[in-house]
Amino acid sequence: MLRTNLSSALIAASLVFSSVSLLAQASPANQMHHEMPKPTNLKVLPKNISGDDLMATMHGFTGSLGVHCTFCHEEDSKTHHPNFASDAKPEKATARIMMRMTQNINGRYLASLPDHGDMHKVTCGTCHRGNSTPKDFVAPPEKHGPPPPPPAK
Ligand code: HEC
Ligand code: HEC
Q: Compare 51 and 18 and report the one with higher pLDDT.
A: 51
Q: pLDDT confidence of 35, banded at 50, 70, 90?
A: low
pLDDT tens digits along 72-116: 999 999 999 999 999 999 999 999 999 999 999 999 999 999 988
| CB-CB contact of 8 with 64 (8 Å) | no
CA-to-CA distance for 122 and 129, rounded, in angstroms? 12
3-state secondary structure 31-76: CCCCCCCCCCCCCCCCCCCCHHHHHHHHHHHHHHHCCCHHHCCCEC
Tens of pLDDT, residues 1-15? 444 444 444 444 444
pTM listed for this prediction: 0.82
At 42-61, the pLDDT tens digits run: 999 999 999 999 999 999 99
**Best of 71, 109, 124 to mutate for ligand 2, by most ligand atoms within 8 A of CB?**
124
Of the listed ligands, the closest to the CA of 70 is 1
**Contact indicator for 68, 62 with CB cutoff of 8 Å:** yes
Task: Report how far residue 80's alpha carbon sits from residue 78's, in angstroms, rounded to the nearest whole number.
Answer: 6
The secondary structure element, H or E, covering residue 5 is helix 2-17
Which stretch of 22-26, 34-38, 108-112 has the lowest confidence by average pLDDT? 22-26
Name residues contacting ligand 1 (CB within 6 A): 36, 39-45, 54, 58-59, 61-62, 65, 67, 69, 71-73, 84-85, 91-92, 95-96
Residue among 33, 34, 44, 58 to mutate when testing ligand 1 (max atoms within 8 A of CB)? 58
Nearest CA to ligand 2 atom 37: 124
Collapse the DSSP code of 15 into the 3-class scheme (helix H, G, I; strand E, B; otherwise coil) and give the result.
Answer: helix
